[in-house]
Amino acid sequence: MARQLRVIVAGGGIGGLATALALRKAGIEVVVLERALRLRAAGCGVHLWTNAVLALQDLGLADALHKVGRSQVRCEFRNWNGGELAVWPVEEFVDRHGQPVVAIGRDDLVDILADALEEAARDAVRTDADVTGYRQDPDGVAVLLADGSEVRGDVLIGADGVNSRVRAQLLGDTPPDFAGYTAWRAAVQVEPDFVPDDFFRCMFGNGTRFVFYAIAPGRLHWMSVANTRPGGRDGTDVKEMLLARHRGWMDPVEEIIARTPPEVILRNDVVDRRPDKVWGEGRVTLLGDAAHPMNFNVGQGACQALEDALVLARALATTADPTAALRAYEEERRPRVHSFQKAARMVGRVGSWGNPFAVRARTLLYRAVWSGPVWKQVDRDMAAGARWDAPQVPV
């Protein structure tokens, strides 16, 4: 019965496209409804931990990923002036788990997923299809679009982001939680030897942070984070404001900002949600940020959406009753993603400390545990990722 299903995926982001591709690998018909006029990704870069790279490998996309993305050998954590807090030798994941940590542009990753889906199922994606709600009956789901039309299927997957309309109907239209800080992001072109392109660096100041890593040869993603009130807006002097914030920080922070055209700098309040006990009802479920939005502090948002895709496709491919399959997917995924949601909140709170005494305590804490117990937990998290083990059919 699973191969006769028609699954509708609301949202053509990383999670939605990966889900559609995994479903096609299992021989399940799928339609992706994306509200934008073209597939694109918000933000600049994405840090894919080994568990996510393994998920992409299972989807047949590891080679395409490595052609564009940059494999990393270490992750550095430092104070604003260069004082070392911890270094994680992430190159060890290749021998232990089979794939490295990879950084890539979000649009590049979306292109890889979209191209693979187009090859597997031409016309599986409908753009300019704005999902506003749904209606269930015993035989399936009718997905309602803003233009007044409907698309009918057996199952609906809400993969439409943190402000998901599928989620709003399912669980209530409540806003996500503001984390207490805002992120400024950009990608900038640099000389290929400007910095080594095989590491990630995160630096901590008093209520501020700065992160950068390469996402392609000669292209850096960076992010500046500061404690703020929600809903703020930047003026025309955003670049000068960021340079003043990071004046005197270790090289090459100021130069990275100075090289960035101000018009490409994005500002977003950082939001998430507390873990939810319910993700779905009947023939409807949620996936990725619609189900479990987490802030950037553990770098697992996109990674967990990719894992969701494999588990959901496996459940639908191996369980005759689609509603039972959705509940099985939710039951399997909730414990893992809830632990990441909670960890991201905790790490974010500590990272945003601004009181000088608290900052000193954070330095001592990170030096004591970040290279030991925390690194060991990260290694265990890589080994516990979801893998593809559902039946595959020619597509």
Q: pLDDT tens digits for 335-358? A: 999 999 999 999 999 999 999 999
pTM score: 0.96
Q: Residue 385 — pLDDT band, cuts 50, 70, 90?
A: confident
Yes or no: say if 313 and 19 are a contact pair by the CB < 8 Å rule.
Answer: yes
Beta-carbon count within 10 A of 369 CB: 14
On the question of pLDDT at 233 being above 80, the answer is yes
Q: Is the pLDDT of residue 198 over 70?
A: yes
| Model confidence band, residue 174 (pLDDT cutoffs 50, 70, 90) | very high
In this prediction, residues 143-163 reach a mean pLDDT of 97
Pairing of strands 284-286, 208-216: unpaired
* Bond before 252 cis per omega within 30 degrees: yes
pLDDT reported for residue 3: 44
Q: Name the burial class of residue 343, with classes exposed (0-12), middle (13-18) and buried (19+) by CB atoms within 10 angstroms of its CB.
A: middle
pLDDT at position 39 is 85
The encoded tokens of residue 139 equal 């035989």
pLDDT tens readout for residues 212-230: 999 998 899 999 999 999 9
- In this predicted structure, the answer to whether residue 318 has a pLDDT above a threshold of 70 is yes
- What's the pLDDT score for residue 88? 97
Burial label, 148 (beta-carbon count in 10 A; 0-12, 13-18, 19+) = exposed
**Residue 394: is its pLDDT beyond 90?**
no
pLDDT value at residue 42: 66
pLDDT band of residue 235 (cuts 50, 70, 90) is confident
Is 249's pLDDT higher than 60?
yes
Q: For residue range 30-72, list pLDDT tens digits in order.
A: 999 999 988 887 668 999 999 999 999 999 999 999 999 999 9
pLDDT band at 264 (very low <50, low <70, confident <90, very high): very high
Sheet holding 155-158, edge to edge: 125-126, 29-33, 6-10, 155-158, 284-286
Predicted local confidence at residue 4, as pLDDT:
77
Strand-pairing partners, residue 188, are 220
From CA 249, how far away is CA 210, in angstroms rounded? 9
What average pLDDT does the structure give for the chain? 94
Calculate what percentage of the chain has a pLDDT beyond 70: 97
The per-residue pLDDT for range 93-149, each reduced to its tens digit, is 999 999 999 999 999 999 999 999 999 888 899 999 999 999 999 999 999 999 999
Instruction: Give the E-state strand segments of 37-130 in sequence order.
Output: 45-48, 70-72, 74-79, 84-88, 101-105, 125-126
CA distance 347 to 51: 20
Q: With 50 as the cut, is the pLDDT of residue 7 above it?
A: yes
Q: Are 80 and 74 in contact (CB under 8 A)?
A: no
What is the predicted pLDDT for the residue at 391?
66
Question: Would you say 346 and 272 are in contact if contact means Cβ atoms under 8 Å apart?
Answer: no
pLDDT value of position 393 = 59
Quick one: pLDDT at residue 1? 40
> In angstroms, rounded to a whole number, what is the distance separating the alpha carbons of residues 268 and 96?
36
What pLDDT score was predicted for residue 44?
87
* Residues 182, 267 contacting (CB under 8 angstroms): yes
